[in-house]
Amino acid sequence: MNAIEELPVWAAILTSALLLLGSSLALIGSIGLLRFKTFYERIHAPTLGSTLGLFSILAASMLYFSIARTRPVVHEILIGIFVTTTTPVTFLFLVQATLYRDRFEGSDPLSGLSEERQSVKTPTGS
Amino acid sequence: MSRWLPYPVISAMLLATWLLLNEDLSVAHVLLGTVVAIAGSWVLVRLEAPPLIFRRLWIILRLALEVVVDMTRSNVRVARLVLKDKRDRTPGFVRIELSVRSHYSLTLLACIITATPGTSWVNYESTSNVLVIHVLDLVDGDDWGQIIKVRYEGLLKEIFE
């Protein structure tokens, strides 16, 4: 790969900045997965990597390959669409399974909600 | 038309996806993509998917812009929450009475809520049209039901219903 040597400096800097941003977000997401204590909190953390983290890495890839191969790359847009439309499916399955288990064990986390009470706070568990 | 091409919009999107994936506009790929697109829409007939009709397609751009801004903002907020490991964070569930009902509005709303770190879709009951979401940090005074309604529901309604 000698394309990287032909890459203009501004593009190289921008590509690496986007890559670093994306991977830091994925790392922070994983740290959150480790730090948060309850399931419903944990489910939020990996979203960092699958949204802005993913988009920064895709943007870096688009930028690099558009310049190095001198043609626009559209595959990344498709990857973005596929990931954003399929992650909710997995998330919903996981959440529904947990909710089912909680209810089965007799501790429905949603039991406090009613028309009068629109939100319930839960302990952080940490 | 309706027998051979039951979901024209979805078939067109499938064909476009096929051509983009192959980055090729040759006759062979257009033909192959058409076969895939039509076969795909027959699968949807079996699944009894409701017809996809866009009332005002351009509003999708406004919605996309709104989502990108909110997603970026909440990414920063959640990243900060993770790094600070704040103990006084108050996670909780929020109950929202929705007014959108179409399958496609709900699907898109689920994608948006999941794609925004800090909120996640927990439960939806179609009989009462009530959605429950989990919020990572319930800041006092933030009315999440109102936020979802004002930001997304109106636009979704304009697009699909």
How far is Cα B102 from Cα B105, in angstroms, rounded to an integer?
Answer: 5
Beta bridge partners of B124: B131
Question: How far, in Å, are A60, B93, B121 from residue A117 at the CA level?
Answer: 45, 11, 18
How far is Cα B17 from Cα B14, in angstroms, rounded to an integer?
Answer: 5
Q: Which tokens in the block code for residue B19?
A: 């051509």
Does the distance separating the beta carbons of B79 and A28 come in below 8 Å? yes
Contact A45, B82 (CB under 8 A): yes
pLDDT tens column, A5-28: 778 888 889 999 999 999 999 999
The verdict on A121 touching B (C-beta cutoff 8 Å) is: yes
Q: Out of B78, B79, B91, name the one closest to residue A124 (CB).
A: B91
Instruction: Quote the ipTM score.
Output: 0.80
User: What average pLDDT score do residues B157-161 get?
Assistant: 83
Contact B89, B136 (CB under 8 A): yes
Find, among B143, B82, B77, the residue nearest to A45 by Cα: B82
Does the distance separating the beta carbons of B95 and A113 come in below 8 Å? yes
Using CB atoms and an 8 Å cut-off, which of residues 60-99 of chain B contact chain A? 71-72, 75, 78-79, 81-83, 85, 87, 89-96
Residue B74 pLDDT greater than 80, yes or no: yes
- State what percent of residues in chain B have pLDDT above 90: 10
How much is the CA Rg of chain A, to the nearest whole Å? 20
- Segments of chain A assigned E as strands: 119-121
pLDDT value of residue B149: 84
The better pLDDT of the pair A123, A11 is held by A11
Q: Give the DSSP letter string of B46-81.
A: HTTPPP---S-TTHHHHHHHHHHHHHHHHHHHHHHH
How much is the CA Rg of chain B, to the nearest whole Å? 20
- Please provide the average confidence, as pLDDT, over all residues in chain B: 85
The beta-carbon contacts of A75-84 under 8 Å, at least 24 apart in sequence, are: A75/B20, A75/B21, A75/B23, A77/B20, A78/B17, A78/B20, A78/B21, A80/A54, A80/A55, A83/A50, A83/A54, A84/A50, A84/A51, A84/B111, A84/B115
pLDDT tens column, B91-124: 888 888 888 888 888 988 998 998 888 888 888 8
Does the distance separating the beta carbons of B71 and A120 come in below 8 Å? no
Domain spans in chain B, listed from the N-terminal domain onward: 8-46, 59-160
Contact B66, A96 (CB under 8 A): no
Does the distance separating the beta carbons of A118 and B145 come in below 8 Å? yes
How far is Cα B153 from Cα B143, in angstroms, rounded to an integer?
Answer: 15
Going by the DSSP 8-state scheme, the letter that residue B150 receives in this structure is: I
The verdict on B20 touching A (C-beta cutoff 8 Å) is: yes
pLDDT tens column, A39-93: 888 888 888 888 899 999 999 998 888 887 766 678 888 899 899 888 888 888 9
Closest CA–CA distance from residue B106 to any residue of chain A (Å): 12
Using CB atoms and an 8 Å cut-off, which of residues 48-77 of chain A contact chain B? 48, 50-52, 74-75, 77
pTM summary value:
0.83
How far is Cα A120 from Cα A98, in angstroms, rounded to an integer?
Answer: 18
